[in-house]
Amino acid sequence: MEIIGIVKKLFNVQKFDSGFQKREIVITTEEPYPQNVLIEFIQDKVDLLENIKPKDKIKIFINIRGREWTNSEGIVKYFNSIQGWKIEDPTGTSNRTSSKNRSSSLSSDDFDDLPF
């Protein structure tokens, strides 16, 4: 899947003791009813945001993730997240890739380190 929009906000990189890291971005879609969408980049994909600035128009390739969690009272809750894995110029004229220029695949181990 992909989403195109204007960068509204870039958050700082969050690093956790487990070695897990993530960085979030908010983009505003350009449609009759614009939406502010929070997208997270995890692990080495954080590097994809290095050259992104507010007001840039970008295309982000995304995966939607869902997670089940049971609280201390035994109540099951569900969480969704949108994870980015690739960024392009929406005109298709140039690609933005990780400065480390390495490919990665996400395994279930990557999600076991999530802080919630």
What kind of architecture, by CATH, is found in domain 2-94?
Answer: Beta Barrel (2.40)
pLDDT for 3 equals 96
The Cα–Cα gap between 103 and 30 comes to: 30
Write out pLDDT tens, residues 9-46: 999 999 999 999 999 999 999 999 999 999 999 999 99
Write out pLDDT tens, residues 64-94: 999 999 999 999 999 999 999 999 998 865 4
Q: What is the pTM of this model?
A: 0.75
Domains in the chain: boundaries: 2-94
The token pair at 45 is: 């994909």
Three-state SS annotation for 70-91: ECCCCCEEEEEEEEEEEEECCC
Q: Which amino acid does the sequence have at 49?
A: L
- Environment class of 22 (CB within 10 Å of its CB; exposed 0-12, middle 13-18, buried 19+): buried
pLDDT for 90 equals 87
